[in-house]
Amino acid sequence: MHRIWDHGGAVTVRDIFEELRGERSIAYTTVMSTMDNLHRKGWLARERDGKAYRYTAVASREEYSARLMREAMAEAGDTEAVLSHFVAQMDGAESAALRAVLAKLAGRP
């Protein structure tokens, strides 16, 4: 997935395979089935170009990242994913109380 995002545009299985073969030994079919899986899971869109498919990312990395953060930050919203936050969202009074503790600790000799 990272390879495809780095490419920017549409890629074929052949493009990715050639690129990966330079770094490690990998079978063409492995790349093909991986990309097919990603298409099936909704990460890649594809269109037929002659005999091969040309794959494009459905959304950019930044878009996915923003979507994840929206989901993570608005726990009370429409998402029902179980996320265990290290620090949950706080209201103004609570973070003010914490800042006060922080100031006290910092002010200690």
* DSSP per residue, 52-76: EEEEEESS-HHHHHHHHHHHHH-TT
User: Quick count: other Cβ atoms within 10 Å of Cβ 17?
Assistant: 17
Work out whether 67 is an interface residue with other proteins (CB under 8 A).
yes
Which among 6-14, 24-32, 48-56, 65-73 is the span making contact with other proteins, rule CB under 8 A?
65-73
Report CA-CA distances (Å) from 18 to 23, 31, 37: 9, 10, 19
Q: Residue 26 or residue 97: which is nearer to other proteins going by CB?
A: 97
Spatial separation of the C-alpha atoms in residues 63 and 20, rounded to whole Å: 25
Task: State the minimum distance, in angstroms, from the CB of residue 51 to other proteins.
Answer: 28
76 part of the interface to other proteins, by CB under 8 A: no
Q: How far is the CB of 106 from other proteins (least distance, A)?
A: 6
> Is residue 26 a contact residue for other proteins (CB under 8 A)?
no
Kindly tell me which of 52 and 74 has the beta carbon lying closer to other proteins: 74
